């Protein structure tokens, strides 16, 4: 099935009332490969994994670096500064270490 056929089929479903306007737009964007802002954020959050190769303790900073494109050394500095300032860096790191799954 071509892209044009799929878009026509989506339009027909919307006209019949099978799809709402919002569902139609999301499906159309998915077909065309246009990332939606909320979708890209959700994909980044859902794609967050602890690194197995770039790790010092639990791989949290390496995983954040891979997801955000910011260097892992910078994430380590952020957690260290938060630890020094009020101890929240340790809490945040432990929470991420516990809840973020390791990469496969």
Residue 54 and residue 102 in contact, taking contact as beta carbons nearer than 8 Å: no
Is 104 inside any structural domain?
no
* pLDDT tens digits for range 41-56: 666 667 778 778 877 8
- Rounded to whole angstroms, the Cα distance separating 56 from 82 reads 17
Same domain, 65 and 95: yes
60 and 87 fall within a common domain = yes
Say what the pTM is. Answer: 0.57
Same domain? For 12 and 52 the reply is: no
The reply to whether 40 falls in a domain is no
Give 70-88 pLDDT, tens digit per residue.
888 998 999 899 999 988 8
The total number of structural domains in the chain stands at 2
- Within a domain: 90: yes
Report if residue 79 sits inside a domain. Answer: yes
Question: Can you tell me whether residue 59 is helix, strand or coil?
Answer: coil
Contact 54, 33 (CB under 8 A): no
**Judgement on whether residues 53 and 92 belong to the same structural domain of the protein:** yes
Six token digits for residue 98: 């516990």
51 and 23 fall within a common domain: no
Parent domain of 93? 47-99
């Amino acid at each position: 099935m071509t892209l044009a056929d799929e878009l026509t089929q989506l339009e027909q479903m919307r006209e019949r009332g099978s799809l709402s306007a919002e569902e139609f737009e999301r499906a159309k964007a998915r077909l065309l490969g246009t990332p939606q802002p909320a979708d890209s954020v959700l994909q980044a959050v859902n794609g967050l994994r602890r690194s197995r190769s770039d790790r010092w303790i639990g791989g949290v900073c390496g995983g954040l670096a891979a997801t955000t494109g910011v260097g892992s050394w910078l994430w380590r500095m952020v957690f260290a500064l938060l630890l020094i300032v009020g101890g929240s860096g340790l809490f945040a790191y432990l929470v991420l270490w516990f809840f973020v799954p390791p990469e496969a």
